[in-house]
């Protein structure tokens, strides 16, 4: 995978995983928005953004998530950030976003969260 490539995977039960590449910055933040919007447009309520490979997130990358999370929540779902590193978490912490975002330590935890909430 390139440093900027973003891929989307349906995992069933109304959950989609969008995998971020190493970098989420001005080069590809628009692709993340497009990927999220495309999934939301299909009526998918729960999106997991797999951040396990993400090494750097810029303000544009943060904005790509913040600008779309509310739409998922209005649908009764959420955008769940899976496996972000401490580096990425620190950026969210500086922006006082840890209380606003749903963050799980791994894709498995994120899937469990989505699955549990999808049944409600």
The residue count for binding other proteins (CB under 8 A) is 28
Q: Where are the beta strands (DSSP E) in the chain?
A: 7-12, 15-19, 23-24, 46-50, 56-57, 78-82, 102-104
Is position 96 an interface residue for other proteins (rule: CB under 8 A)? yes
Is position 59 an interface residue for other proteins (rule: CB under 8 A)? yes
Q: What angle do CA 88, 91, 97 make, to 5 degrees?
A: 105
- Which residues inside 26-45 make contact with other proteins, applying CB under 8 A? 26-27
Is position 116 an interface residue for other proteins (rule: CB under 8 A)? no
Kindly state the smallest distance separating residue 89's Cβ from other proteins, in Å. Answer: 10
* Structural contact between residues 46 and 25, judged by C-beta atoms closer than 8 angstroms: no
Which is closer to other proteins, CB of 83 or CB of 111?
Answer: 83
Antiparallel, parallel or unpaired: β 7-12 and 15-19 = antiparallel
* Structural contact between residues 89 and 99, judged by C-beta atoms closer than 8 angstroms: no
Which is closer to other proteins, CB of 98 or CB of 112?
Answer: 98
* Structural contact between residues 16 and 46, judged by C-beta atoms closer than 8 angstroms: yes
Kindly state the smallest distance separating residue 33's Cβ from other proteins, in Å. Answer: 8
Binding site residues, other proteins, CB under 8 A? 3, 23, 25-27, 56, 58-60, 62-64, 66-71, 86-87, 90-91, 94-97, 99-100
């Amino acid at each position: 995978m390139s440093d900027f490539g973003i891929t989307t995977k349906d995992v069933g039960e109304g959950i989609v995983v969008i995998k971020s590449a190493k970098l989420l910055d001005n080069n590809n933040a628009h692709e993340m928005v497009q990927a999220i919007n495309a999934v939301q447009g299909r009526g998918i309520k729960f999106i997991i953004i797999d951040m396990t490979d993400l090494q750097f997130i810029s303000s544009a990358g943060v904005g790509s998530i913040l600008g779309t999370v509310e739409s998922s929540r209005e649908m009764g779902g959420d955008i769940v950030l899976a496996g972000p590193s401490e580096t990425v978490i620190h950026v969210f912490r500086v922006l006082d976003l840890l209380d606003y975002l749903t963050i799980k330590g791994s894709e498995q935890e994120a899937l469990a969260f989505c699955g549990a909430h999808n049944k409600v």
